[in-house]
Amino acid sequence: MTDEPATTTYAIREPFGHAMESLRQALQGRNLLIIGQVSLSDRIRRTLRIDLDPCAILFIWPKARVQSWGGIPPAARLLLPLHVVVSGRPGARTEVHVLRSLRLEDDAEMGQVRESLADVNQALETIAMRVNLVE
């Protein structure tokens, strides 16, 4: 078992709203679609009346790599669309968390997922700095 975290974290030095727009543009530039979004902080605010920093999950579809659902191997269907968590932080900073592909290297069926994760990471590297979580 590895000591590495399950996610890769990036920091964007922009407030949440601006960072979301930058993220959308960067993903579109890599031919990735945001096919859905859930605002966790809004949902918690509505149901529990607790104020939290903004937090959303983006559902990202790799349109350049996968044209239809039928072309995806069954094992890869568990991970597509990709889930990317975006969370606002104090001081005009936003963090983006992406699933790491540690266990995908050896699985041939996960090729589309691995390549799509690489596209997401490359898009993020154009607008964000990778955060080292290992102390």
Q: Could you give the C-alpha distances from 18 to 30, 64, 92, 93, 135, in angstroms and in order?
A: 19, 26, 9, 10, 29
Structural domain includes residue 2: no
Q: What pLDDT sits at residue 66? A: 58
Q: What pLDDT sits at residue 80? A: 83
Which residues span the domain enclosing 71? 7-130
Q: What pLDDT sits at residue 121? A: 93
* Dist. CA 27–CA 97, nearest whole Å: 14
pTM of the model: 0.85
Provide the domain count of the chain: 1
* Dist. CA 89–CA 74, nearest whole Å: 37
Q: What pLDDT sits at residue 134? A: 42
Q: Is residue 126 scored above 90 in pLDDT?
A: yes
Structural domain includes residue 84: yes
Structural domain includes residue 1: no
Q: What is the pLDDT of residues 114-124, one digit of tens each?
A: 888 999 999 99
* Dist. CA 126–CA 46, nearest whole Å: 34
Residue 74 sits in a domain whose CATH number is: 3.30.310.70
Structural domain includes residue 135: no
Q: What is the mean pLDDT of residues 51-75?
A: 80
Confidence of residue 135 (pLDDT cuts 50, 70, 90): very low
Structural domain includes residue 44: yes
Structural domain includes residue 77: yes
